[in-house]
Amino acid sequence: MELVVGRVAKSHGVRGELVVEVRTDSPDERFVPGARLRGRAPRRGASGDAPDDRVFTVESVREHSGRLLVRLADIADRTAADALRGTLFLIDSADLPPSADPDEYYDHELEGLSVQLVDGTEIGVVREVLHSGAGELLAVRGADREILIPFVTAIVPTVSIAEGRVVIDPPEGLLEV
């Protein structure tokens, strides 16, 4: 499974720097000088086929306004940088080390898990993990709507990757329309 670790938002300056929106908890491991990043263009080619991946080498990185400014080898000017707008930087989930903390999960491990109440009532399936300033939310696709569940122990007491399920104990009103 491919995971997105960053996205090129736009070019920065005239020397080919890129503004990269970080989508990983480990930017200091993914975006460092010498790192090789697999990039995928956002658009399909004229033939309708998926675009080919391209491998880039990071030359330099610096923080800027909550994002990273990244210079890549062979991207020397604004025109080349503009051509990369929307490019996604990807890694293979098989390349990730296992989490050292049994109570921490990668987003892709949670997506697709069944969600049920403590009494066993099925609620839906985790569609996505959303990261907000207030914390993580599980976007759960129910039979007729999507529900956002705060991903905190008080509300989500059990996560079992092996059993493919998340058990929730929501406060009154959380699941009401």
* pLDDT score of 46: 54
For residue 121, give the nearest of 67, 169, 160, 70 by alpha carbon: 169
Who contacts 74 (Cβ-Cβ below 8 Å, separation ≥6)?
A: 56, 80
Residue 163 and residue 83: Cα distance in Å, rounded? 44
Residue 44 pLDDT greater than 70, yes or no: no
Q: What's the alpha-carbon Rg for the chain, to the nearest Å?
A: 19
* Confidence class for position 39, pLDDT limits 50, 70, 90: very high
Residue 139: how many CB atoms within 10 A of its CB? 16
At 104 the pLDDT is 82
Tokens of 174: 């959380």
Residue 128 burial by Cβ neighbours in a 10 Å radius (0-12, 13-18, 19+)? middle
Chain centroid, CA 144 distance in Å: 26
Strand partners, 15: none
Q: Which residue segments constitute the domains of the chain, with CATH numbers given?
A: 2-95 (2.40.30.60), 107-168 (2.30.30.240)
What digits encode the pLDDT tens for the residues 49-66? 556 789 999 999 999 988
Reported confidence tier of residue 24, pLDDT bands at 50, 70, 90: confident
First to last CA, the chain: 34
Distance CA 124, CA 116 (A): 7
Average pLDDT on 79-103 reads 85
Give the mean model confidence (pLDDT) for residues 150-177. 93
Q: Which residue has the tokens 């399909």?
A: 44
> How much is the mean pLDDT over the chain?
89
Q: Are 126 and 166 in contact (CB under 8 A)?
A: yes
pLDDT at 70 over 80: yes
DSSP 121-140: -EEEEEEEEEEETTEEEEEE
| CB 140, CB 150: distance < 8 Å | no
Asked if the model's pLDDT at residue 4 lies above 80, the reply is yes
